[in-house]
Structure 1
Amino acid sequence: MPEGAPLALDVRLESVTEGVLVTGTVTAPLTGQCGRCLDPISDELVVDVCELFAYPDSVTDETTEADEIHRIDGDRLDVEPVVRDSVVLGLPWTPLCRPDCAGLCPTCGQRLDDLPAGHTHDLLDPRWAALAKFTDAGGSPDQRTNSSTSQE
């Protein structure tokens, strides 16, 4: 989410026995990178809000710890922490440009969606890399071994 971006709040305040119940939705712009292909993405995040703000001296106020529930401060309700927590918890763990994004090729780093079907790389196991110089010098290792022994 861009820093300082405006949020749209559609909330309802209801007086209930123990306090004021705040319900509604928060809409926020969402920008970032796709978690698979790293392309920039932009979307809209919509999350629900439901929180009770306890009246002073209510049963809820007396039976809960200070950090367990929000409280009414005079005639004011501070909904900012509730909105912030709802938005942060509503953010996707891995934002995607689209659900079927294939991501990046682990070898060349190109987007798999942009590469031809069946894109592969011929990888030589590093444990066998030292033997590759024998095949590059001409012929298989068996042929070189046979030719060297026949000259002796």
Structure 2
Amino acid sequence: MPEQRNSPWTLDTRELGRRPGLSRKFERVVEAQHALGVEGVIAVPKGARVELDVLLESVVEGVLVSGTAVAPIEGECARCLDPITAADHDVEVEFTELFAYPASITEETTDEDEVHRLVDDKVDLEPVVRDAVVLALPAAPLCQEDCAGLCPDCGGRWADLGPDHRHETIDPRWAALTERFRTDRDA
């Protein structure tokens, strides 16, 4: 894990102590260092303000971190391709993660990617929040729940076209006859 001593996402656990049962609450607003999600589809944009409400609890094997994160999201509607802007939508996620103490049984018996580790008595919340946000974001984001999407023939937004919108289609097997019997008044 890269050292992030000055990162606002990093919380120092030294004041918490190592006696199980001790806890400490943090409220912090941080800036997203990278987009959290899939850019161009749906994500918390880089530079967005992320509100964190975190509880650190000392347990036998490490520090249990639980809390919520709230952040604006931006993306594109999967049906009509209109932008989903930060002013319209927020994502709120809950997370709970164990950060193992160095030389604890948990640290010794788990792989590095299974359980987070305390590094210099600090926890880095960015990967925990990123994972929670990615799992909470919809695979097919919508600008509105009842978004009708686009007309497959002309590409217009159904919301703008109205209920009477339609396209006359002629079965391709009859198209040659239509051309043959076309009169001057049809043109």
Q: TM-score range by the shorter chain?
A: 0.7 to 0.9
The structure with more radius of gyration:
1
Unaligned runs of 5+ in 1: 139-152
- CA distance, structure 2, for counterparts of residue 82 and residue 24 of structure 1: 10
Corresponding letter in the other structure for 2:151:
C
Select 2:68's aligned residue among 9, 12, 25: 25
- Equivalent runs, 1:1-150 vs 2, <5 Å: 1-42=44-85, 43-137=89-183
Unaligned runs of 5+ in 2: 1-43
Partner deviation per Cα, 1:10-59 (whole Å, 9 max, x = no partner): 11100111110110111111112211111222310111111100111222
Partner deviation per Cα, 1:61-104 (whole Å, 9 max, x = no partner): 11101221101112111121111111122221111111111111
User: Which has the larger share of strand?
Assistant: 2
Give the structure-2-normalised TM-score: 0.68
RMSD: 1.6
- Larger deviation, residues 32-41 vs 98-107: 32-41
Shift of 1:137: 4.3
Shift of 1:127: 4.0
Moved >6 Å (runs of 4+): none
Change in 2 beyond 3 A, CA 1:117/1:69: same
Q: Percent identity?
A: 58
User: Which has the larger share of helix?
Assistant: 1
Shift of 1:108: 1.1
